[in-house]
Chains A and B, each alone.
Chain A
Amino acid sequence: DVVMTQSPLSLPVTPGESASISCRSSESLLQSNGYNYLDWYLQKPGQSPHLLIYMGSNRASGVPDRFSGSGSGTDFTLKISRVEAEDVGVYYCMQALQTPRTFGQGTKLEIK
């Protein structure tokens, strides 16, 4: 199985500042077509997860441009610029390269 490792696991952030979450995979998620098979999801408190970023860097419909995904191969980053109170929750990366699909442990973002 592809192992996904996120850091940090807890991320206190002051509103208006930026935040970054790292996700590393045990195998390269870069395919010959040039795309990275890595998605980011946010699970707000008491809700189902929802898609933020797909294929490494593509924002899902309705996701604010404060959210951006970058990286390639085995190292990926989710950046949130100008953090707002509504951004609290647990962020997960997931590899879409192979089955079983695997998730990172999750990063809990909280407001200072």
Chain B
Amino acid sequence: QVQLQQWGAGLLKPSETLSLTCAVFGGSFSGFYWSWIRQPPGKGLEWIGELNHSGNTNYNPSLKSRVTMSLDTSKNQLSLNLSSVTAADSAVYFCARGHIFDFLSGSYYLDFWGQGTLVTVSS
């Protein structure tokens, strides 16, 4: 059974960089997309971006200038960095596996999710 386990700093000051890691157990990176999604307190889901096992990335244009995603295939881990955070970046952050059903377009559904990491930005 695939499991995604996340961790990272939960309290940041404005202008700092958010760094989260997601470890994948019970499966490989190859053949899947890997997404990060966030959820501000009491609100809905926002897609942050994705990367595949080759390291190709797509980011939400609303965050693109501040986001970096990467893979460490030797450790079966993916990471998210979000720079220059503000209070608006306070949210629960999820990693999720994208199961590809259309390899031409790269479309997928999110079949496994991490437990979520609450990140609060406050001075």
The chain A residues found within 8 Å of chain B, CB to CB, are 31, 33, 35, 37, 39, 41, 48-51, 54-55, 60, 90, 92, 94, 96-97, 99-106
Contact = CB atoms under 8 A, between A and B. Distances in A.
Nearest to A1: B61
A21 B111 CA distance: 21
A33 B102 contact: yes
Contacts of B16: none
17 contacts: A35-B102, A37-B107, A48-B94, A48-B113, A49-B45, A49-B110, A49-B113, A51-B111, A54-B101, A54-B111, A94-B47, A94-B110, A96-B108, A100-B62, A103-B46, A103-B47, A105-B44
B60 interface: yes
Tier of interface size on chain B? 20 to 34
Contacts of A31: 102, 105
A37 B109 CA distance: 9
A48 B116 contact: yes
Contacts of A33: 102
Contacts of B111: 51, 54, 60
A51 B109 contact: yes
A61 B115 CA distance: 19
A50 B101 contact: no
Interface in B77-109: 94, 99, 101-102, 105, 107-109
A102 B47 CA distance: 7
Contact of B107 (A96, A102, A105): A96
